[in-house]
Structure 1
Amino acid sequence: MMPGKPPLISRHRRNHSQHNLLLTDIISPKEQTVVEKEGYLLKAKIADGGKKLRAICLSLWMKNRQRKNWSTSWIVLVGGKIEFYKESKQPALANLKAGYKPEWVDLCGAQIEWTTEKSSRKNVFQITTISGNEFLLQSDIDFIILDWFHAIKNAIDRLPKEQSCTPRNLEFKLQRSSSSELLSSLSTESKEPKSEHRRSLIFRLNYSASDTNDRNRVKSRLKKFISRRPSLKTLQEKGLIKDQVFGSHLHLVCEHENSTVPLFVKRCIEAVEKRGLDVDGIYRVSGNLATIQKLRFVVNQEEKLNLDDSQWEDIHVVTGALKMFFRELPEPLFPYCFFEQFLEAIKNPDSSTRVKSIRRLLQKLPRPNRDTMKILFEHLKKIAAKESVNLMSTQSLGIVFGPTLLRPEKESGNMAVHMLYQNQIVELMLSEYNKIFSSEED
């Protein structure tokens, strides 16, 4: 060791402490220490950075391996994130001071939703982060999992989306906002001071006068580009932007195609009936998400679609895209205003009355909803007829399609109960298809 110089280990520790100080400055001390909720739940990670984890996919059809993918974790909801611990003996902060780094999920910009397709377990909901990580959380006790769902959802809703999720927010504005709205937004954002504790670590370390000039130049060029940007109407007239299929209202898709059933739905059904009726776990097994998204893009951007093409060879990609189409409808196939009426119909203890009530409700639906529903349930009835081969009964199809086709407009504390009735409605409509969709008068 050279005289007059401090030991290397001391300098190394000092640097680490400085970095740690900057990181903790990003989030206020109050956000770091307040634990909103904690307890044991079953956890399974199904995607990392947008890439599906193969072990979880296998568990969907190999039930004897499913337990290996779930682990009991002590879940801590604190400071806009969820932390996962193996034990609950030590508080979260004590573990951090001891050098233990738990697995955690940043809730900024995250999405939370109930799912019945990712696991055969009951009471499962999924958290998807903006970085592409996906987690499943589960508990057999209804009130516990419902309490966790609402606690996490409330935490997500409270997070400031404009400051914490700037890249995704800017991309959304470029795609959806008008030129004048975006210019006004950029001018306002440039004048509003950023809160110090919301700046990223990289920004704080690299900030300089030259960086400010660079950002101003980029912003100026961006404003000029947007001001010269052609209108949406002009792009549509030139055929550069086409009407979307995914994410559009059902009646708009049908009006554009001059039909009462979307062409994409018909093509998917034809493909599945051609080469998927005998496939084990059809509609239950998930296809490759990246390929499904590619198919979604092709459908939205191109008029011609050949599902017999080799790139769509995996029939689970086709079924996955069809389910995604129905999930992304702004209003589900069973319109929101009919949700409670269908629930009341299925609750009736008399089976004959249940069938008649649901049939009368179907006759009140808009034509595109009713016709699409008829062709879809006729198709699913063919799937159930092959139950001995594909292992998909009416009950299994009800579990898959119930929450996808029928859901309330606003979430409530009765999610678990609603899910049961949603499944039963689909199951009844499949088992009594001929009576419910018959054209004869009552």
Structure 2
Amino acid sequence: MQKSTNVDTSMETLSSSHQGTGAVQMRIKNANSHHDRLSQSKSMILTDAGKVTEPISRHRRNHSQHLLKDVIPPLEQLMVEKEGYLQKAKIADGGKKLRKNWSTSWVVLSSRKIEFYKESKQQALSNMTGQKSESVDLCGAHIEWTKDKSSRKNVFQITTLSGNEFLLQSDIDFIILDWFHAIKNAIDRLPKDPSCPSRNLELFKIQRSCSTELLSHHDSDMKEQKPEHRKSLMFRLHHSASDTSDRSRVKSRLKKFITRRPSLKTLQEKGLIKDQIFGSHLHTVCERENSTVPWFVKQCIEAVEKRGLDVDGIYRVSGNLATIQKLRFIVNQEEKLNLDDSQWEDIHVVTGALKMFFRELPEPLFPYSFFERFVEAIKKQDHNTRIEAIKSLVQKLPAPNRDTMKVLFKHLTKIVAKASKNLMSTQSLGIVFGPTLLRAENDSGNMAVHMVYQNQIAELMLSEYSKIFGSAED
């Protein structure tokens, strides 16, 4: 009895001493313990009213529920309706106009917002690290097609309540149409209240409704589309790209197109494809230009004589092949060419393009039918006889070949005149131009022998230019 009274007294003392904090701790000593240690402790939390609140359950299942509630976001934040690559430009931020800069973005559309990533991998990384991406809140947003904001086709604009404006674009009609209607449907489903509270589970049941209902909404929106987009709508895919019948239909159409496509000759005859400068016959180029010397040859020669006569290794040193190919492309596209432009500053690019022009002629400047006759002429023992034989052959050449040959060799005599500076002798130029201008139609077995004659013919025509072609001043 005395022991019970002491316990009650001690409880009252502890209770009064800890009334300010509302905590009471009672320890029970285990009499069987030899080490006088605490074997059990119990904590009770008292409210101001003296009531004991329920402690947090440590049951594993209950504990996981608390974790899921704190860590996993609501369903509405996880639901992704559409994602893919689009061209994006932000043109206003909070009503302030921005400079338009297009960039490729990985676009993710959820039930109430759009997020922009540089690539799909960045989305996964952001989800893991919790980093924020650039996003557009669709609550109260407005979407419309626009032609005034960009010269690109298939552009629509999204304007948010906060005054942000975004342009989205794709060159593929059905892709941009699907995006437009998916975003428009998402906006239409959202409350019009600017506060835009979170929606309940019933809204997500609507979002996950049957595909026929979604298609009916999609088709009704398409009927409201502006007239300028009706043409592209006719070619829109009505089913998923994975639909087997659609893919079979596309393959069938492609097969028919490939088998029925017109030949290159037919396109040329109809004037849809013009003959190019490089790779065309010399007489064809001259006929088209109503001249006997190709315009490109004249331009190259003029540029070299203006700024290349004193350049070391002119015609021997190779120019940058990529730049030469760029020059070749511009000439073939019949674009306006200015060889004084800074991109053609390297004169070796110009000489390389000129040599490429002669090298790509289907029939060389010295026609195949004249090759053996020029070789026989250069074999003659008497020097004057060789000159007369070659002069006679030159006069028999077609006008485009003869006149182009005359202009070219006259230009090369000016190179030789500056040999002390450019180090290009008659022999050096003969080695460069011989195989380029003169070759047999069939070189099998005689390439080494022919090369000797090719060089000798070019050298003789260069050293005896005035006797073969007339006065150097012509």
What TM-score do the two structures reach when normalised by structure 1?
Answer: 0.48
Decide which structure has the larger Cα Rg and report it. Answer: 2
- Which structure's relative contact order is higher, taking Cα pairs within 8 Å and 6+ residues apart? 1
Structure with more of its chain in helix, by fraction? 1
What TM-score do the two structures reach when normalised by structure 2?
Answer: 0.45
